[in-house]
Amino acid sequence: MRNVAHKSGAEAPVDESGVRDDEDRVAAGHVDKKRVGALAHALIAGLLADGERAPSPALISASAARLPGLAEVGSYRMAVCQRVLTSAALYFRLFMPTAEWAFHGAELRGLSARFDLVWRSADGVIVDELKTGRVATRRDVAALRAQVAREILAGAAVFGEDFLGVRVVSLGAPRTSFFADRDGQSSPLEWRSS
């Protein structure tokens, strides 16, 4: 364990992996991360509900401009807008499931979990858990593990044997994305390169 200085001047413990112990991590100004996440989820889900699988940047931008919550963001509107647009563009560019996967729904509830995006194919059902920020602290990692465990239990209960697992899609740090199968085993999530 070592300490690193924050921009606030205080020091915080960081382990060898670079994961910080504290809650006071560097954020993008005063941008509310939950608001960014909610807006990005709404934008991606709306485009998918409209049948879009490869929306153009212009369509993503026009769709974002119609999001009701974006006008309420205030002085950091441009920063929020940029993060929302980038998150949506990354999802469609890197993480959009292949054509055999049909969009089944968004923000579906099952037992003690809420599924951001649900996909169905002849192979089964997968759930996408979208993360628009970084998972930076030990508390963040623990919360994500608990959330994925709840989603696996709920997915198995709701979809039965068809449930394959959860794709944790990290739009804020794509290389950290992973797939957790119905048994809880995780592996790095492969993303499209073309």
**8-46 pLDDT per residue, tens:** 444 444 444 344 333 333 333 455 678 889 999 999 999
Whether 80 is covered by a domain: the verdict is yes
Q: For 115-143, give one letter per residue: b (16+ CB within 10 A) or e.
A: bbbbbbbeebbbbbbbbbbebbbeebeee
Same-domain check for residues 104 and 88: no
Same-domain check for residues 106 and 136: yes
Same-domain check for residues 91 and 102: no
Whether 164 is covered by a domain: the verdict is yes
Same-domain check for residues 92 and 109: no
- Structure confidence at residue 159 as a pLDDT band (50, 70, 90): very high
Compute the average pLDDT of residues 72-85. Answer: 78
Whether 21 is covered by a domain: the verdict is no
Same-domain check for residues 102 and 185: yes
Same-domain check for residues 110 and 61: no
Domain hosting 83: range is 30-96
- Is the overall model pTM greater than 0.75, yes or no? yes
* Strand ranges, E, within the chain: 2-5, 11-14, 102-110, 113-121, 124-131, 163-170, 178-181, 186-188
Choose among 172, 170, 164: nearest CA to 188: 170
- Structure confidence at residue 98 as a pLDDT band (50, 70, 90): very high
- Structure confidence at residue 194 as a pLDDT band (50, 70, 90): low
CB-based contacts of 26, cutoff 8 Å, min separation 6: 6, 7
Whole-number Cα distances in Å, 40 to 34, 93, 131: 10, 14, 9
Domain count, the chain: 2
Same-domain check for residues 159 and 179: yes
Domain boundary, last residue among 52, 79, 96: 96
Same-domain check for residues 54 and 102: no
The percent of residues above 70 in pLDDT, for the chain, comes to 79
Same-domain check for residues 116 and 162: yes
